[in-house]
Amino acid sequence: MKIKHNKNFTAGAVITAFMLAVILIGMVWTPYDPNAMSGKDRMLSPCLAHPLGTDNFGRDILSRVVEGAGATFIIAAATVAIGLVAGLVIGGLTGYYGGWLDEVIMRFNDAVAAFPSILLALVLIALFGSGKYNIILALGLLFIPSFARVVRSEVARQKSLDYVAGARLMGAGDMRILFLHILPNIIPVLLPSVAIGFNNAVLAEASMSYLSVGVQPPDASLGRMLNEAQGYLLTAPWYALSAGVAIILLVLGFGLLSEGMGGEYGAA
């Protein structure tokens, strides 16, 4: 069993490292300007000058995929950050103190969790309007319940352990116990959920941008590229394929990582 999980972890680490490297390089250098149009180079199939071909405006697809992956990655990371920080505070406090507020918040969490997330995101977009920052805000809000739930159950479990009693005997206050003693101990449990949350964020962002309610042109995003590429499926199938494969690699890498971690920590 152990070997299998490590295999997952290794494969995930390799794919994620590759994508991260591509994204980081893309932030300082891309083969071409992702937005530079060229009338004579329209719809080129993959060749030496343009390894992934060009799109309907003659823009280099490789450069666009790299830039789009970066945008998708940043949006997903920001989304997870919002959900994680708010989830830590809400889940931490409710798990630590319990009581009626805990009940109310957890019932509310259950109701939100039972809802299709895309639907909720669309409602929030209908309220806030579309655009890059509204997507981050909407998705970030949506991710709070799932993180809060994980944090809550873990904090509730840890607070009755001996080391917490020890810290209390030494005179540590509630906040110090919660954030300095308990929090570091729940990180192993939290990491797989962060990876899964990241995946959901990537998929959600890609879906929303595909539906044209997310990232707006001229900003690049993998979902938007798929939306544009669909119109040129017959003439330039490599366009859709490149953007789609980039999404799959991002999601697959983090999925394998979370599985690898989940297995290892679960076994420990």
Residues 193-222 that bind other proteins (CB under 8 A): 199, 203, 206-207, 210-211, 213
Token pair for 124: 């929030």
Nearer to other proteins, 88 or 261 (CB): 261
Task: List the structure tokens of 185.
Answer: 């101990």
Helix/strand/coil percentages in the chain, nearest 5? 75, 0, 20
Q: 48 vs 114, which CB is nearer to other proteins?
A: 114
CA dihedral 174, 175, 180, 186 (to 10 degrees): 80
Name the one range near other proteins by CB under 8 A: 23-31, 161-169, 174-182, 234-242: 234-242
Is residue 55 involved in binding other proteins (CB under 8 A)? no
43 binds other proteins (CB under 8 A): no
| Residue 170 binds to other proteins (criterion: CB under 8 A) | no
Task: Choose which of 34, 95, 214, 255 interacts with other proteins (CB under 8 A).
Answer: 255
Residues near other proteins (CB under 8 A), total:
36
Within 98-127, the residues that bind other proteins by CB under 8 A are 111, 114-119, 122-123, 125-127
Render the burial of 81-103: b for 16+ CB within 10 Å, e for the rest: ebbbebbbbbbbbbbbeeeeebe
Number of Cβ within 10 Å of residue 119's Cβ equals 9
46 lies in the site for other proteins, by CB under 8 A = no
DSSP code for 160: T
Q: Which residues of 168-205 are buried (b: 16+ CB within 10 A; e: fewer)?
A: eeeeeeeeebbeebbbeebeebbebbbbbbbbbbbbbb
Choice between 32 and 210, CB closer to other proteins:
210
Do residues 73 and 234 make contact, with C-beta atoms less than 8 angstroms apart?
no
Nearer to other proteins among residue 116 and residue 184 (C-beta): 116
Closest contact distance (angstroms) between CB of 169 and other proteins is 40
By CB under 8 A, name the binding residues for other proteins.
8, 111, 114-119, 122-123, 125-127, 199, 203, 206-207, 210-211, 213, 226, 229-230, 233-234, 237, 240-241, 244, 247-248, 251-252, 255-256, 259
